[in-house]
A and B are shown apart, each in its own frame.
Chain A
Amino acid sequence: MNLWQLYIAAIVILLGIGIYCLISRRNLIQLIIGVEVIAKAVSLSFILAGNLQGNEQIAQAIVVTIILIEAVSTAVALSLIVAAYRHTGSLDINILKRLRG
């Protein structure tokens, strides 16, 4: 088995865990964690693709950008969760479905 196949397996496993988390959980914090896990799978796939193409600098630049954007989006999401918690007194996602969007 090649090394890159191991990487692929890791990506698929991370992605699967993240998607399973998004499908099965109702807690807002747990959903954020799921999104983060998926983002990690994406970063890893960029690194792998960069390595396979021999183009590591671009891959690293993109991954650093992804990490930055992730941090920003997580901060925004967490602040929204705090606001929602103050508003509803619960972390359950189903309480927020009044708009049925």
Chain B
Amino acid sequence: METGVLLALLAILVPIVLGPFTYLVEKISAKARTIYAVALGFITGGLTLSLIPYITEGTVESFMWIPGAGRIAFSVCLDSFSVVVAIVAGVIGALVLLFSIRYMKPASQEYSLSRYYWQALLFIGGMIGLALTSNLLVMYVFWEIIGFCSYALIAYYYHKPESVPAGIKAFIVTRIGDIGLLAGILILWHATGTLNIFEIMSASQAGLISFTLLGLAGAGFLAGAIGKSAQFPLHVWLPDAMAAPTTITALIHAACLVNAGIYLLVRSYPIFAALAWWPTALLWIGAITALMAATIALTQWDIKRVLAYSTISQLGYMMAAIGVGALLASQFHLVSHAIFKALLFLGAGSIMCMTGGIKDLHQMGGLAKYMPITRITFIFGLLSLVGIPIWTGFFSKDMIMSSLLQGGAYIPLALLVIATFFTAAYSWRMYWLAFQGEKRTSTEVHESPPQMTGPLIILALGSFLFWLCISPYTASMAFSLPVGYHIMPMSLAALIQHSFTSPIIVVTVAIIVTLIVLTLKWRATVINTYQKPSALTLPLFRAYWIDIFYNRVIVKSLLSFCQQFRRLQTGDLNYNNLAIAIGLVIFLIMLFALGVY
């Protein structure tokens, strides 16, 4: 076996197989368990990083793990897309686990931390597995593993009333998309006779798949990605997922879960590029979601909800970029978003941990004096999110918007530009409410310990400096990906020249001016705003009533429909078994009647 394949398998198996042993290590001591789990996280992160020299094109090796079912081979692929997504999951996952040591300490009184650590490790391992395989069915298995982990971890604080419903909601809403994805995979299997994504790709490019089947499969993949990456209309689970521990929210938003949908679409883009409507749908869904979520974020008071809507909005940017075929821009923004969003969530976690769990922006304020490191790193994250030169977010966002401009998608571009202004506004508001003005909480606040500020500083440096890696990053993409992805290598000088000379720079300048004006003129009004939402902001505050609409219309009617069948449930097992037996007989009669024999 090649070294690269071995390392890839280790990166998948170390967190998944060794994770459950946290329960055994706990028998020694709680401290040993924590060290064990964090060490596993760092080993995984190191293993994903060690894959970089082995980046190569196509499927590297296939393992026939079910004899006779060669199509369901566990095939490892180590091209630049998969390795980069695996590194994001592994490295950010390790930092989050390091941050958890202190953050999760108060929870250990009531909840099992061994459960927390093994599920987090399973989550990371599942995401790495999803990234590193080129077999669609195996990918789907990992897709479900991370779906389960998100459910279990969102419901982690199961004594809190909002946690378990939020977990179930996340699971059911993403499941709607998952069914589409499974159907899409099976349709592609039926049409091409293979499950390897590269073989399907060449079959599709050779025109061997009929347009009807391709369209159905494309719709299924789109549904799966919309569910997992929380795009309109299936975005409703993500804000509720804030019931999870903040560290897990950082994992979901940055390292693991939401990237999966974008990654799937980027991967399968060459398969469906022949369909005219498919990229257009992505473009519009992305642009609408980006604007909608950014406006909602402007009015929320829970700091984690602001960040959640910000994630939805940023994922919309990535989706729109895929829609014009700018896969490099989408992946670049995925990485830069992962870094700064992990930073922002961990920063919010640092605030919550030190103030005793306050997440309401009403009660924060004035934290700048007490938490200098958290404040500086948080500013770094926000500058990257808003897209101020020379933070990474500026380059990635600029790349997305200029590719939309080149692609001639003017109306979606306009939506994204407006969304960018809203992004600047809500970031600015969040910062001023949390860190500036008067201190409004009575608890004593001080700076977080080093195991919390350490990850923050690393991520802040990452969000500041990652764009310097653009040249090796794009070069590895260009040589390791098939031609269908249309990725050209880009040097650092070309990136700088491209970013500062494209027309989008006007938007950036306008945003900087806006921020300065906001700071000079409107600071006092915003900080002292406690008033109720007005008629203008109420729809934003209530997230356009989409949640309430789903609840009243879909959930309620489904429940009342199911209530009709309640009387069939007698609870008598013998009757149930009899019904099963009758069903079996009817099925057999149907088989004979249809002449299967």
Contacts and interface: CB of A to CB of B under 8 A. Distances in A.
B574 interface: yes
Contacts of B573: 22, 26, 31, 93-94, 97
Interface in B567-597: 569-574, 577-578, 581, 584
Given A19-B581, A101-B569, A24 B574 contact: yes
A87 B570 CA distance: 22
Interface stretch (A40-48, A54-62, A70-78): A54-62
Contact of A100 (B68, B569, B578): B569
Given A19-B581, A22-B577, A23-B577, A94 B67 contact: no
Nearest to A22: B577
A27 to B, nearest CB: 11
For A23, A93, A94, A100, which residue has the most chain B Cβ atoms within 10 angstroms? A23
A25 B578 CA distance: 11
Contacts, number: 36
Interface string B522-545: 000000000000000000000000
A94 to B, nearest CB: 7
B393 to A, nearest CB: 50
Interface string A2-24: 00000000000000000100111
Nearest to A28: B573
Interface of B: 67-68, 569-574, 577-578, 581, 584
A1 interface: no
9 contacts: A19-B584, A22-B577, A23-B574, A23-B581, A55-B68, A93-B574, A97-B572, A98-B571, A101-B569
A52 interface: no
A61 B69 CA distance: 13
A100 B577 contact: no
A57 B66 CA distance: 12
Nearest to B573: A93
A30 to B, nearest CB: 11
A44 to B, nearest CB: 17
A101 B571 contact: yes
Interface in A83-101: 93-94, 97-101
Which 5 residue pairs spanning A and B have beta carbons closest together?
Answer: A97-B571, A100-B571, A22-B577, A19-B581, A23-B578
Contacts of A31: 573
B566 to A, nearest CB: 9
A94 B572 contact: yes
Contact of A57 (B67, B577, B578): B67
Contacts of A26: 573-574
B571 A99 contact: yes
A58 B68 contact: yes
B371 to A, nearest CB: 50
Given A93-B574, A100-B570, 12 more contacts: A19-B581, A22-B581, A23-B577, A24-B574, A31-B573, A57-B67, A58-B67, A58-B68, A61-B67, A94-B573, A97-B572, A97-B573
A98 B573 CA distance: 12
A77 to B, nearest CB: 13
B102 to A, nearest CB: 38
Contacts of B67: 57-58, 61
A26 B101 CA distance: 51
A21 B68 CA distance: 36
Contacts of A93: 573-574
Contacts of B571: 97-101
A100 B576 CA distance: 11
A9 to B, nearest CB: 15
